[in-house]
Structure 1
């Protein structure tokens, strides 16, 4: 089970945050502008904004770049491998390939 989830604004719904809270998983998800405006419009009844760690959120960029580099492999990008075990093996091979290219 993960200890923390880093996600973008698309996953900032109340239901997603509640599910993560019920499973004791910390969430670093920025809130959408309309959600923040709605909270401000409600005033003191709007509740306090959810916790957000901007330093941890910066790490999300590295993860997304890694996935972008892995998806240069056609099998990963198009998901030819339907079995999860084969897809995981393909991911490992692509990661090793990427690592070896960085060494040379």
Structure 2
């Protein structure tokens, strides 16, 4: 996939970041922010793109500047994300990088695990207190 001309990243052919959705042509902002509503990384994508498709790209652009000398930190201490990011590839990526997370499990995934019984595996851990703080990212764009 070629890099787009959009300075904020994302986009389609020629740097377009408009996409068709039920409400017309829209653009989505995918970003990461800290608990004080300060953004760390941002990707602009067409509206028809799924949120989970941009999740890994947003985390790859994540940078926290050091107060003194040294390279910026590239890994968050922990994160909270919505149900849209509750899939195998995202969870595997977070596990591989050692990032603690609070992502609720979709109800159909829970039902599938129960149907499999002992073969369904152990459900992923979920920290409700950390997930309640997820609303800070919603306030960043306002």
Scaled by the length of structure 1, the TM-score of the pair is 0.62
* Offset at residue 62 of structure 1 (A): 2.8
Query: Is 1:17 aligned to residue 91 of structure 2?
Result: yes
Unaligned runs of 5+ in 2: 1-74
Listed one character per residue, the Cα deviations across residues 24-63 of structure 1 (whole Å, up to 9, x for unaligned) are: 0011100101000000000111011001000110000133
What secondary structure sits across from 2:101 in the alignment? Answer: strand
In the alignment, what sits opposite 2:109?
Answer: 35
- List structure 1 segments (4+ residues) > 6 angstroms apart after TM superposition: none
Scaled by the length of structure 2, the TM-score of the pair is 0.46
In the alignment, what sits opposite 1:50?
Answer: 124
* Offset at residue 8 of structure 1 (A): 0.3
Point out the structure with the larger helix share.
1
* Offset at residue 12 of structure 1 (A): 0.6
In 1, Cα distance between the equivalents of 2:123 and 2:141?
A: 31
Query: Is 1:4 aligned to residue 78 of structure 2?
Result: yes
* Offset at residue 67 of structure 1 (A): 2.1
In 2, Cα distance between the equivalents of 1:15 and 1:62?
A: 25
Point out the structure with the larger strand share.
2
Q: What is the RMSD computed on CA atoms of the aligned residues?
A: 1.0
Listed one character per residue, the Cα deviations across residues 48-89 of structure 1 (whole Å, up to 9, x for unaligned) are: 10010001100001331x2242xxxxxxxxxxxxxxxxxxxx
Q: Which has the larger radius of gyration?
A: 1
